[in-house]
Amino acid sequence: MDAPMVWMMGGPGSGKGTQSQKIENKYGFKHIDPIALIEQEIAAKSANGVKFEECQSKGEPVPLRDIVPLIEHQLMSHRGGLKGFVIDGYPADLEEAEILEDGFGSPTMIIALELAAEAGSQRTSLASGAQARPSLSVYIDSSKAVMERYAQITLKIDADRQPESVFEEIQLNMDSLIKRQDRVTLTR
């Protein structure tokens, strides 16, 4: 896929959805929220939705391989005007990173929102979500390998700050990414 792809990583309550939405609003990137896609399928009572609901009733996460076709559908429905896309909350580990790469190619940038445990637990208690995702400690352990493998393109950001301050730092890097993409497009 030619469009830039950003992976928005972070533990529970780190602001992944908020920052992904800000990127969509400012840069026109498609915000892909796999959790919302799962919830839509469950609400629609589709065949996938029934399967996803069974996973959740067992307390298991929906496997990313089962979500990839939903992401593909989202991307294909925007292919004419797709400036880029940001995948919110994935990958949580190397296995998920490989699944995303197999489906969509290498990421252009990874934004890793780092949050202190006490801030994450406060924010998480304010939010709700049906999808089981890793706890902060599990996320920290499992995401290390992803950040090591993709160190050259990973932007680690202190997410303990206000969302606007976090986005200011993201903007600096997104602006650079957009300029690089524009240069690549011009040379084609």
| pLDDT at residue 177 greater than cutoff 80 | yes
Task: Name the nearest CA neighbour of 35 among 58, 56, 6, 14.
Answer: 56
| pLDDT at residue 10 greater than cutoff 60 | yes
| pLDDT at residue 185 greater than cutoff 70 | no
Sorting pLDDT into bands at 50, 70 and 90, what band is 120?
very low
Q: Give the DSSP H or E segment for 85.
A: strand 85-88
- According to CATH, the topology of domain 5-29+82-187 is Rossmann fold (3.40.50)
The amino acid present at 99, given as its one-letter code, is: I
Query: How do 154-158 and 85-88 pair as beta strands?
Result: unpaired
pLDDT of residue 82: 82
Q: Is 114 helix (H, G, I), strand (E, B) or coil?
A: strand
pLDDT tens-digit map of 39-86: 999 999 999 999 999 999 998 889 999 999 999 998 888 777 788 999
Which single residue is written with the structure tokens 């602006």?
175
Separation between Cα atoms, residue 104 and residue 68, nearest integer Å: 9
